[in-house]
Structure 1
Amino acid sequence: MQRICVIGGSRYFGKLLVRRLQAAGHQLTVINRGSTPPPPGVEHLVVDRDDEAALTAALASRTFDVVVDQVCYTPVQAAIAARAFAGRTRRYVMTSTIEVYDPATAALPTVPPGTPVTEDTVDPASWRVAMDLPWHDDAYLEAHYAEGKRQAEAVLARAAGFEFTSVRSAHVLGGGAMEFTGRLAHYAGRITRGEEITVHAKALPTVFIHYEELADLLRWATMADFTGPVNACSDGPLDVHDLAAIIATQAGREPVYRTVPAGGEASAFSFDRHYAMSNARAKELGFSFAHTTDWLPGAVAETLTAAPSPTA
């Protein structure tokens, strides 16, 4: 049994992670602002993680084997956590994102299309941190989501007193009520209704992961001893046409496309730039991934079942 603290963990794959860690017999503490309580038997600390004094007071004398941070978006939040958990844990796992590799958001090494992007493309140990940017401004944070994640990783990677790993998640999908982002439902709805999907003329592939697979990978990372970033994506990149074709097959409708040039605004999952991740490091460390086409049809079926029928 390990003592594990989950920051966030109130919805989607974080909620599933908490349940699976609890089922495995670990002692769980969940920290969030109280909007959603954890399952019975899980300790709940209601506190705003951005309030350092309140967080430190809430932690009191508690120590943990591992902290899993599901909701760290800025270097300011990371610095607060690094100070608050210094001397309280031996390992810190942060949920990060594929967006750290987006070449539209930072000057990154060029990766030729078709070459999976590896973790060393963004090295948190050397990434520049700017704490004086307006990270507390919601609009700024939304516009600089990828950079916030990069700098948060950088702060925690350099923190003393605990081992650190970041799990860089691909685009997360699920079906029905677990379709957290609404993007799969968006595609399913437009195809079912015969509405246009806006795509780039040369749409490039990206990578996905099912929310259950991501919860399993986070549980694995929690129990492991490796450090540094690790990419989390199912095998089998898909472009927007591949995704639409899987939905169309089950919906019984042909997708309708409107094409825009590179740089134009398109639907989610249509990309005119390449940053599809490699999952080779996670495999080398012992994690086995499903293929995207093994689980995506089931997620699509759940989404179509949950969606209202198209009107005539």
Structure 2
Amino acid sequence: MQRICVIGGSRYFGKLLVERLQAVGHQVTVLNRGSARPPTGVEHLVVDRNDEAALVAALGSRTFDAVVDQVCYTPVQAAIAARAFAGRTRRYVMTSTIEVYDPATAALATVPAGTPVPEETVDPATWLVSTDLPWHDEAYLKAHYAEGKRQAEALFTRADGFEFASVRSAHVLGGGAQEFTGRLAHYTERITQGDDIAVHAEALPTVFIHHEELADLLLWAATATDFTGPVNACSDGLLDVRDLAAIVAAGTGREPAYQTVAEGGTASPFSFDRHYAMSNTRAKQLGFTFSRTADWLPGAVAEALTASAAPAA
């Protein structure tokens, strides 16, 4: 049994992670602002992680084997957490994102065209950290989401007091109504209704992960391995927007219709005009086994269709 603190953990794969940690016998503490209560038997600390004094007071004398930070978006939040948890945990795991590799938001190391990018493409040890940017401004943070994640990883990487790992998640799908972004529902609804799907003229592939698989990987990263640094989390198999739409169409019994957007125009979710895929080789070498996207995506589509047909609560 290990003592695990999950920061966030109130919805989607974070909630599932808490349930799975508890199910395998770990002692779990959930720390959030009180938006949702954790399962019975899970310790709940209600505090704003952005308030350093309140965070330290809420933690008291507690120590942990590992912390899983689901909701760190800026280097300012990372700096507060690094100070609060220094010497209080052996291991700190941050949930990061595929968006750290987005060439539209950063000049990245050169990778051959069409090659899924490895972790070293964005090395947090060398990334510039600027805590004096307006990270507290919601509009600024929304526009700089990828950079906030890159800088948060960079700050934790340089922190003392614990070993640090980041899990760079692919686009997460599955869970029906739990999938709160609505990106898969965009496709099920438009195809069912016969509406056009806006795509780029030459849409390029990306990678996905099922929400249950991501919860399993986070559990593994926190409790079953001692790697440090970033690791990419994506199921096997690249899909472009038309591949995705074809799987959705098979579930709906209708053919998808497309509308090509002009260069620079707004396309549907997961239609990319730039190569946007990660390599999961490092995680496999460390011992994690991934599923294939093509195997679980039809079930995720079925869940989305069921959720869209359910009457509003």
Say whether the fold is shared (TM-score over 0.5).
yes
Partner of 1:25: 25
Q: How does 1:238-253 map to 2 (within 5 A)?
A: 238-253=239-254
Deviation at 1:262, TM superposition (A): 3.9
Deviation at 1:163, TM superposition (A): 0.3
Do 2:74 and 2:148's aligned partners in 1 also have CA atoms closer than 8 Å? yes
Deviation at 1:275, TM superposition (A): 2.4
Unaligned ranges ≥5, structure 2? none
Q: How does 1:282-301 map to 2 (within 5 A)?
A: 282-301=283-302
Deviation at 1:263, TM superposition (A): 2.8
Is 1:43 aligned with 2:39?
no
| Partner Cα distance (1:86, 1:80) in 2 | 10
Do 1:175 and 1:298's aligned partners in 2 also have CA atoms closer than 8 Å? no
> More displaced, 202-211 or 105-114?
105-114
Task: State the Cα deviation string for residues 43-70 of structure 1 (Å, max 9, x = none).
Answer: 1000000000000000111100100000
| Partner Cα distance (2:6, 2:175) in 1 | 24
Corresponding letter in the other structure for 2:165: T
| Partner Cα distance (1:178, 1:243) in 2 | 19
Secondary structure of the residue that 2:66 maps to in structure 1? Answer: strand
Partner of 2:151: 151
Give RMSD over aligned pairs.
1.0
Deviation at 1:264, TM superposition (A): 2.3
Count of residues paired in the alignment: 309
Corresponding letter in the other structure for 2:249: A
> More displaced, 79-88 or 174-183?
174-183
Deviation at 1:213, TM superposition (A): 0.2
Do 2:175 and 2:211's aligned partners in 1 also have CA atoms closer than 8 Å? no
Secondary structure of the residue that 2:229 maps to in structure 1? Answer: coil
Corresponding letter in the other structure for 2:251: Q
Partner of 1:206: 206
Task: State the Cα deviation string for residues 1-46 of structure 1 (Å, max 9, x = none).
Answer: 1111000000000000000000111111110000101101111000
Partner of 1:302: 303
Is 1:76 aligned with 2:76?
yes
Secondary structure of the residue that 2:29 maps to in structure 1? Answer: strand
Partner of 2:8: 8
Task: State the Cα deviation string for residues 191-236 of structure 1 (Å, max 9, x = none).
Answer: 0000011000000000000000000000000111000000000000
Partner of 1:276: 277
Percent pairwise identity: 80
> More displaced, 141-150 or 298-307?
298-307
Corresponding letter in the other structure for 1:111: V
Task: State the Cα deviation string for residues 123-165 of structure 1 (Å, max 9, x = none).
Answer: 0111000111000000000000000000000000100010000
Secondary structure of the residue that 1:30 maps to in structure 2? Answer: strand
Deviation at 1:178, TM superposition (A): 2.4
Do 2:204 and 2:276's aligned partners in 1 also have CA atoms closer than 8 Å? no
Corresponding letter in the other structure for 1:303: A
Q: 1:19 to 1:175 in 2, by over 3 A?
A: closer
| Partner Cα distance (1:240, 1:275) in 2 | 12
Q: How does 1:83-98 map to 2 (within 5 A)?
A: 83-98=83-98
| Partner Cα distance (1:135, 1:46) in 2 | 23
Secondary structure of the residue that 2:68 maps to in structure 1? Answer: strand
Secondary structure of the residue that 1:307 maps to in structure 2? Answer: helix
Partner of 1:181: 181
| Partner Cα distance (2:199, 2:112) in 1 | 21
Deviation at 1:252, TM superposition (A): 1.1
> More displaced, 147-156 or 249-258?
249-258
Q: TM-score, normalised by structure 2?
A: 0.97
| Partner Cα distance (1:119, 1:49) in 2 | 28
Unaligned ranges ≥5, structure 1? none
Corresponding letter in the other structure for 1:104: A
Secondary structure of the residue that 1:16 maps to in structure 2? Answer: helix
Partner of 2:64: 64
Do 1:111 and 1:274's aligned partners in 2 also have CA atoms closer than 8 Å? no
Deviation at 1:302, TM superposition (A): 1.3
| Partner Cα distance (1:241, 1:292) in 2 | 14
Secondary structure of the residue that 1:125 maps to in structure 2? Answer: helix
